[in-house]
Every structure is written in C-alpha cells, then in structure tokens.
C-alpha cells in the first residue's frame, strides 16, 4: 500500500484525499487552517468563498480553450462524484446559465458573445421574452438574454464538507502548516519532517515559494432572499465586474465577484459592495428586501498564464494555478494527476 502526504485541504486536497481513500491508499492531509469548516477570514481554502459556477462556455470570455475542455469533462465527473457521496448529497444542478444585458449594454454583450463563439462544444442561445419567462418566470425580462446551455453549478460548502466526511481512513492534520514540499517528504513549520511514498502539494497560494503564483482578490455578497425564484445562475454584462447571481438552496443568493489585482485580504470595500449589490438589484428588483448575510473575500491562486499547472517528478506532484476556474476544472485535473501517479506506482 502506498502512502501519500497531501499539503493543503482545500478543493484539490479534499478531492484527492477522497479519491485516494476509495482506492485504499494511505493518505494524510496537512493544512494550516484550524479545522475543516470555513472561517471566512480569507485565510483557509479559497474554495469556500467561490460561487461554484461550472461555466465552461461563459469562461471563454477570457479563458483558453483548455480551461473549457477541462470544464466540460469536470461537469460529467462532478455528476458522478456527487452521486457517489452519501446522502444528503451536495446541491449540484445542470440547468445551464443565463447571460443578460441591459438596453445600453448590447455592444458590450456582443463583444462577449464574439469571444464565446470560440467555443465549439456549445453556443449561447438568444432568448425572447416568452422563452425567458418559461425558463425563469421570476426574472423581470431584461433587454437582452441568452441561455448558455450545458453549464452547471455546485454548492461549494456542502461539497467540501461531504468530501471531507466521506474520505474514509484519511488522517487530517489541522494547524499543521507545511513549509516545504519535496519529493517523498514534507517539512513542517517548526522544522520537523515526515516521509511518504508520494507528496502532493496543493496549497494554492500557500505554495508561492515553489511556483510563480499571485493572488487575485475576489469579493462577494451572500444574501438571504426568500422567494427570489431564480433557478439558475445569471450573469450580467457590466462595465467593471463580471457580476453574477447564483441561487443556492435555502433561499440563498450568492453575488459575485470583483476581480482585483491585489493580495489584500482585508474586508470587502464599500465601493465593491455597492457596485455588486446595485448591479444585482438592477437584474432582480425583489432583492431590495434581501438580507445581507455575509460580505466575503478571498484570493484566487493564479499563475502568469492563468492556466492550471501540474508538475510531476518521482515522489512529488504539484497542482496549482486554478485561478477563477478551480471548481470548473478540479475533477479533470485530479483524474489526470491520479493517472500520472498510477504510472509512477506501476513503473
């Protein structure tokens, strides 16, 4: 039986631990955080702060075809992962998403659509008022709307909790920051070492001494909006932010997100909060009476090319740079990484 030392219990760390546990491997996970639950202090996993949109088509607005391709594969993998988790299963839905624009923003929307035309697996479908009303009866018709078919969404909090709970036999070590991840061994802050057949470094931004990573700040608003009625994520063409409204179970609506070139982890600014909330209110006026549950922020771990990177050598695997697409790409990246490890184990 092979032993794995995983540095980082965020999205990749939990997915890897769960997958390895199912193969009967011996896995230990080490994380700097105090425990498995979210603290919303911008320090633990960025994954807790994410919207959980699985948007291979919409992300072609700025991302490479490789991101979309990993994304389409991952949507199918998430379907199987969620089905394999014990009940109550995390919320996961494949209903597509909407792109909407106010009257004056049609030229901007057309520029977005031109970029999405690079995607071969799916294309935006223009919706007239009747078609939109059939899909989202609670949404007051915006001037322009398109369905982005095939897109999906997942509940990040419930999924991270479920992967942690279902990873049988995995040893989780909290408040155990890793200083160095080297082939076959981890060094912890404080100086002690532990040895494994294979070390997996998935510390997100915490691995910045090993990879040219930078953090990209994202701010979000969590709303309680009973009766809001939305059934799928809605993106608004907006001059400054990629604004989206994501419905979650229990009448929650998640508004995101700013994308700011800064590693500032301090609380959400007034300007960002006002811009996100007024944009959301312009799409769904019923939000006037929504209650603000949380203003959250975190840093997306990005490499210079904004693409994910898997680095593999004997006894060491690093996966990082998931940027704004971690939920979209993680299952496919983990599947490919485990295939690499199987070759190493067999060799």
Ligand X SMILES: Cc1cc2nc3c(=O)[nH]c(=O)nc-3n(C[C@H](O)[C@H](O)[C@H](O)COP(=O)(O)OP(=O)(O)OC[C@H]3O[C@@H](n4cnc5c(N)ncnc54)[C@H](O)[C@@H]3O)c2cc1C
Which residues, other chains included, contact 232 with Cβ-Cβ below 8 Å and sequence gap of 6+?
93, 95, 96, 97, 98, 135, 136, 153, 247
CB closer to ligand X out of 40 and 251: 40
* Candidate list 4, 5, 6, 7; residue touching ligand X; CB under 6 A: 7
* Candidate list 16, 17, 25, 33; residue touching ligand X; CB under 6 A: 33
Asked if 44 interacts with ligand X (CB under 6 A), we say: yes
Structure token pair of residue 343: 């070759």
Asked if 9 interacts with ligand X (CB under 6 A), we say: yes
Decide: helix, strand or coil at residue 68: helix
Q: Which residues pair with 146 in a beta bridge?
A: 99, 126
Site string for ligand X, 58-97 (x = CB under 6 A): ----------------------------------------
The residue with tokens 């076959």 is 184
Asked if 19 interacts with ligand X (CB under 6 A), we say: no
Q: Which stretch binds ligand X (CB under 6 A): 20-28, 280-288, 293-301, 309-317?
A: 293-301
Q: Which residues pair with 321 in a beta bridge?
A: none
Beta strands in 102-163 (DSSP E): 125-126, 144-148, 152-154
* Candidate list 141, 149, 177, 184; residue touching ligand X; CB under 6 A: 177
Contact 220, 297 (CB under 8 A): yes
Structure token pair of residue 21: 């546990």
Asked if 31 interacts with ligand X (CB under 6 A), we say: yes
Q: What are phi and psi of 265, to 5 degrees?
A: -100, 10
Asked if 204 interacts with ligand X (CB under 6 A), we say: yes
* Candidate list 45, 142, 247, 331; residue touching ligand X; CB under 6 A: 45
* Candidate list 256, 287, 295, 337; residue touching ligand X; CB under 6 A: 256
User: What CA–CA distance (Å, rounded) separates 105 from 29?
Assistant: 47
* Candidate list 96, 150, 206, 247; residue touching ligand X; CB under 6 A: 206
Cα–Cα–Cα angle for 158, 163, 169, nearest 5°? 145
CB closer to ligand X out of 30 and 146: 30
Asked if 122 interacts with ligand X (CB under 6 A), we say: no
Q: Which stretch binds ligand X (CB under 6 A): 120-128, 222-230, 295-303, 335-343?
A: 295-303
CB closer to ligand X out of 133 and 208: 208
* Candidate list 5, 36, 52, 56; residue touching ligand X; CB under 6 A: 52
Contact 125, 146 (CB under 8 A): yes
User: What CA–CA distance (Å, rounded) separates 243 from 188?
Assistant: 39
Output the smallest distance, CB 83 to ligand X, in A. Answer: 20
Contact 178, 136 (CB under 8 A): no
Structure token pair of residue 339: 């295939």
Residues that bind ligand X (CB under 6 A): 7-13, 30-33, 44-47, 49-53, 177-178, 202-204, 206, 218, 220, 256-257, 298, 300-301, 320, 322-328
């Amino acid at each position: 039986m092979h032993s794995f030392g995983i540095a980082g219990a965020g999205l990749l760390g939990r997915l890897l631990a769960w997958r390895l546990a199912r193969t009967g491997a011996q896995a230990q996970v080490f994380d700097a955080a105090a425990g498995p639950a979210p603290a919303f202090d911008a320090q633990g996993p960025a994954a807790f702060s994410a919207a959980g949109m699985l948007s291979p088509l919409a992300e072609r607005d700025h991302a490479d075809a490789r991101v979309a391709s990993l994304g389409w594969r991952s949507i199918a993998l998430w379907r199987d992962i969620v089905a394999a988790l014990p009940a109550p299963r995390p919320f996961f839905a494949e209903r597509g998403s909407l792109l909407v624009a106010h009257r004056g923003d049609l030229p901007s929307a057309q520029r977005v659509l031109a970029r999405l035309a690079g995607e071969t697996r799916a294309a935006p479908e223009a919706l007239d008022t009747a078609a939109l009303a059939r899909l989202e009866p609670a949404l007051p018709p915006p001037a322009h709307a398109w369905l982005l078919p095939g897109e999906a969404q997942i509940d990040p909090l419930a999924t991270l909790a479920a992967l942690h709970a279902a990873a049988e036999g995995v040893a989780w070590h909290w408040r155990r920051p890793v200083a160095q991840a080297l082939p076959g061994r981890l060094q912890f802050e404080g100086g002690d070492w532990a040895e494994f057949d294979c070390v997996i470094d998935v510390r997100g931004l915490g691995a910045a001494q090993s990879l040219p990573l930078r953090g990209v700040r994202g701010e979000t608003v969590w709303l309680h909006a009973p009766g809001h009625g939305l059934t799928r994520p809605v993106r608004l063409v907006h001059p400054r932010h990629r604004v989206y409204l994501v419905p979650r179970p229990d009448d929650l609506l998640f508004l995101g997100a700013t994308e700011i070139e800064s590693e500032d982890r301090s609380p959400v600014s007034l300007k960002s909060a006002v811009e996100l909330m007024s944009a959301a209110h312009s799409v769904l006026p019923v939000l006037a009476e929504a209650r603000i549950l949380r203003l959250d922020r975190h840093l997306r771990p990005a490499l210079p090319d904004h693409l994910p990177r898997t680095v593999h050598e004997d006894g060491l695997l690093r996966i990082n740079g998931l940027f704004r697409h971690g939920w979209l790409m993680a299952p496919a990246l983990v599947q490919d990484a485990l295939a690499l490890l199987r070759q190493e184990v067999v060799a």
